[in-house]
Amino acid sequence: MTASDRDTQIMLSQCVFFVDPRAKLSRKELQEWLVELALYQAAKPLNVDEIAASIFTEVLPIHGHENAFRPRWTNDACNRLLKKGRINASPLLADLEESQSFILSTQRRTQLDMVKCRFDNIIKQFETLVERAYKAAVKNNTFSPEQEEAIIRATHLTVQNIFIQNAIRLAALMELPSRKRYFERCFENNHEEIRGYKVLSEQLTSIFGEEDVRVPKISNAIIEILLSEDPIVQQYLTICHHKVLYSYILDIDPSLQKYQSELLKQRIIIFDTNVIIAMMFKKHRRHTVVQNLFEDAQRLNMKFGVFTWTVQEIKYYLDGAKKDLLNYKETFHDQRKFRRIEHIVWELLEIKGPSPHFDIPFLDSYFAAYEPNYWLKEKNIEIYDVIRPNDEDGLIEAESILNEHKLRKYDNKETPKPNALEHDALCLLGVNKLRKNEDANITGPSIWFLTLDMSLASAEREIVRYRKIYSFPCSLRVNDFIEELMAYEAPQMSVEKYYSYISLLVESWIAAVDFDEEINSEELLSSINNPALPVLQILESGDERAEYQIKAFMESHLSQSFLDYSMEQDKHGSVQGLNVVLDQMRKALEREAKQHEFIHYSKRLQEEMERLEQLYSERLSREKQEIMAEIEGLRHRNSQLQDQLLGSINLNKRLKLYLGAVTIIMGASLIGLLILRLLR
């Protein structure tokens, strides 16, 4: 292969991050895939169109699930290569096939690193093998050097475009925001590469022809969006990266994650164990994002803290990791254990090489740098003491709430560890205590502190929802909430998602509004409704009906929320007259519905009735014709049966006549015989 081809292959190898991370396609598997493509090039008739067809029909079957990129080994390709008699490759192919079989049957990421040296050597040999095959083909005038260059280039471009096509489709078109983080990471680091991919797609089109359906093409719409200079598009991408990315990476409770960017502007973040561990180890899959979050928060002059129980959990984790590494052979074959410490393994593999042996002195020296108290002090993370409270302080209540959510945090375990559950309960109480000791600002006292733990956040939300609305953890004012959410949301939103949007909006508004001020229900209704109108305008056909349903949902949710809030506040005697506000809101909703919604809805209903009437008449006519045809068929069948019956009657009469004649003849014969006997 030429130098340009190697550069292309290197660039392709670097594209592995575009693949859906659930598929976990490693660099070695990518090389393995390229080897199979090269094998097809050497084995099949070297024709550009046929190679392109074989890539789609035989080598690259894409089904859209997590194993879509798993390479397939085809013995037919090996046999075709050997039967051609070009080269004696049987030992090398057998070695390659054995290595591949070993790789695909073991823990993929671990064993791929363990066989790195051996497999790299095989790849180099096979690349030399393919290069020799090409030279032999050129020498025999199988194809010209220009054709060779075009085939190699086209094959690489084809594979590359398939990576890009599927990656952009998976990352950019997924509705789940948690999947968008991969897309944002790719976009942030590889904007220039995306421009290059568009050029490569054009080159591929020029090789095969624009009308060739086998040519994979990057979605022009997605590319135009990515490369758009429109400030709105760029602002949206920036918002996604800086405000949304971190919250999804950190597993914050779904009820809190949309507020993450606003909460970062406050003073203190309470870190949980999983966040500290991700920050400690560079090979951790969340390290980059957590580190960026930490640096962003530092620039905002924020403070950081952990609880003493969290420090103890980190020590338990490091001790357990050390024990697992001492028994690394067993750990590498235990998927649960390996996942727990895989980021540590990757760092140690770089230090010790692909065949590691861990002993106690080495591990002691390695983990010394991660001693929790020393490491936290270096990062200026304060340790808050947590004193075990009495039952009346709420420990039993906190534990009971956390018990309801234990499956959310402790997956695949029948029961959580008691010390971990107690740690969460104590940390939850510690956060509430710290919040009570802080002065409030305009957004409320409860967002000075942020807990980055799903169990704590969900449990706290349960407490807030039913018992202490005044300490709602996301008590943003309406305008702040709308600005954050509408800037984040994608251009389209389903009705179900919009229900969730309204629900969060109402809860935030109830917690944030100052009821001591004079309330204008018209303005409040407008502040809640107006930001949603652009969303409703781009819903699918029938959006008038959807808007009517959404507003009905709003009215129902507002009623219940106001009722709950009124009952809670009346106990404390701090707010009066909420029923009047609720009546005003209902009247405003009714007026708005009569003016805007019912006209469209009645027209839509009338059209629907006309359509149903026409459909019913057509169906009735069709059924009538079918019934008449069935009646006619029955009549015809009846006439046939009658004819058959008459024929049977006539046949019966004839048989009776024949039988009578035979009887008479036989009687006469007997009489004649008797007369003859008497005469003798």
- Written in H, E and C, the secondary structure of 592-621 is HHHHHHHHHHHHHHHHHHHHHHHHHHHHHH
Average pLDDT over residues 282-307: 70
Lowest mean pLDDT among 205-219, 310-324, 646-660: 205-219
Q: Is the pLDDT of residue 265 over 60?
A: no
Distance CA 415, CA 307 (A): 23
Q: Are strands 303-307 and 449-451 parallel, antiparallel or unpaired?
A: unpaired
Q: Which of 359, 297, 3 is nearest to 149 (CA)?
A: 3
Q: How do residues 496-525 score in pLDDT, each as one tens digit? A: 444 444 444 444 444 444 333 343 434 444
- What is the token pair recorded at 678? 């008497």
pLDDT value of position 637: 84
Residue 346 identity: W
Residue 534 clears pLDDT 60, i.e. is over it? no
In angstroms, the CA 164 to CA 526 distance is 44
Residue with token string 């030429």: 2
**What percent of the chain stands above pLDDT 90?**
0
Q: Quick count: other Cβ atoms within 10 Å of Cβ 138?
A: 15
pLDDT number for residue 472: 30
Residue among 224, 104, 212 nearest 158 (CA): 212
Residue with the larger pLDDT of the pair 419 and 535:
419
What pLDDT score does 595 carry?
55
Please name the residue that has the structure tokens 């789940």. 176
Q: Which of 98-112, 577-591, 658-672 has the highest mean pLDDT?
A: 658-672
Q: What CA–CA distance (Å, rounded) separates 578 from 580? A: 5
Element (H, E) at 307: strand 303-307
Q: Residue 71 — pLDDT band, cuts 50, 70, 90? A: very low
CA of residue 533 relative to chain centroid, distance: 28
Q: What is the pLDDT of residue 641?
A: 84
The predicted model gives 81-102 an average pLDDT of 41
Tell me what pLDDT residue 98 has: 46
> What's residue 601's pLDDT?
53
**Most trustworthy range by pLDDT among 43-52, 60-69, 210-219, 638-647:** 638-647
Confidence class for position 630, pLDDT limits 50, 70, 90? confident
Q: Residue 351 has what pLDDT?
A: 75
- Please tell me the distance from the alpha carbon of residue 504 to that of residue 279, in angstroms, as a whole number: 31
Planar angle of CA 655, 660, 665, nearest 5 degrees: 125
pLDDT band at 332; cut points 50, 70, 90: low
Report the chain's C-alpha Rg in angstroms: 39
Looking at residue 276, its pLDDT comes to 85
Cβ atoms of 577 and 584 closer than 8 Å = no
Residue 336, pLDDT above cutoff 50: yes
Q: How many C-beta atoms lie closer than 10 Å to residue 291's C-beta?
A: 14
Collapsed DSSP state (helix, strand, coil) of residue 554: helix
One-letter amino acid of 120:
D
- The token duo for 321 is 């990791």
Which residues are within 8 A (CB) of 650 and not within 5 positions of it... i.e. 6 or more apart? Answer: none
For residue range 356-385, list pLDDT tens digits in order: 567 788 888 888 888 998 899 888 888 877
| pLDDT of residue 490 exceeding 50 | no
Compute the distance between CA of residue 562 and CA of residue 381 in angstroms, rounded to an integer: 41
Across the range 394-420, mean pLDDT stands at 52
How far from 157 is each of 36, 163, 207, 269, 495, CA to CA, in Å?
Answer: 15, 10, 10, 47, 40
Name which of 160, 124, 112 is nearest 14 in CA terms: 160
The CA-to-CA distance between both ends of the chain, in Å, stands at 126
The span from the CA of 409 to the CA of 253, in Å, is: 11
Task: Quote the distance between the C-alpha of residue 621 and its chain's center.
Answer: 48
- For residue 262, name the pLDDT band (cuts at 50, 70, 90): very low
H or E, element range at 636: helix 598-679
Confidence of residue 428 (pLDDT cuts 50, 70, 90): low
In the chain, the amino acid numbered 581 is V
Q: Is the pLDDT reported for residue 532 higher than 60?
A: no
Residue 325, pLDDT above cutoff 70: yes
pLDDT for 25-53, tens place per residue?
Answer: 444 444 444 444 444 434 433 333 333 33
Point out which residues pair with 383 in neighbouring strands: 306
| The pLDDT of residue 623 is above 70 | yes
* Range of weakest confidence among 88-102, 471-485, 487-501, 593-607: 471-485
Which amino acid is it at 409? Answer: K
- Tell me whether residue 515 is exposed, middle or buried, using C-beta atoms within 10 angstroms of its C-beta: 0 to 12, 13 to 18, 19 or more: middle
Residue 104, judged by CB atoms within 10 A of its CB (0-12, 13-18, 19+), counts as middle
Q: Burial, 94: exposed, middle or buried (Cβ in 10 Å; 0-12, 13-18, 19+)?
A: exposed
DSSP 450: E
Whether the pLDDT of residue 128 is over 80: the answer is no
Q: For position 233, what pLDDT does the model report?
A: 40
pLDDT in tens, 639-676: 888 888 888 888 888 888 888 888 888 888 888 888 88
